[in-house]
Amino acid sequence: MLTCEDLGFAPDDGHTDLWPAVIDHLAVTWGKNITALRRHLDGHYTGLPRGRVTRLGRCLIMHGEDAPVADWLPMVVRSFRLERVRHRAVYDEHERRLPDDRRRLHAVLGTSIPAPTGGRSELRK
């Protein structure tokens, strides 16, 4: 789990603002060439699962319902230290990965495309 604050960004910064730093992080983490990854993935920020956590009044975890791992919600709760905070996971179609970006990301990384897990009914809290 990688948060905007992990990369030195403010909570209000958008996905497109974060994406170059995410590419650099992926390159270092996975031993890939940063320049090559930037060239191939620039502008394809919807290839990874993403979402937002809002804390205005009630805490909402907005997601695209397309995470490739079943236990993503507990990871988000831990990463944002929400264990003792009332929160709810909410589907937001604007947080979904786009198929072309997802395919491009996996092609560049040489990984397979995992199927999304979990449905909305599993995610309500």
- Residue ranges per structural domain of the chain: 5-123
pLDDT at 55 (0 to 100): 77
The mean pLDDT of the chain is: 84
What pLDDT, in 10s, does the model give residues 64-112? 999 888 889 999 999 888 999 899 999 999 999 999 999 998 888 787 7
Q: pLDDT band for position 120 (50/70/90)? A: very low
Amino acid at site 124: R
pLDDT(4) > 50: yes
Cα separation, 27 vs 35, in Å, equals 9
Q: What is the pTM of this model?
A: 0.73
Cα separation, 42 vs 31, in Å, equals 18
Cα separation, 124 vs 30, in Å, equals 33
Task: Give which of 25, 14, 114, 11 is closest to 67, Cα–Cα.
Answer: 114
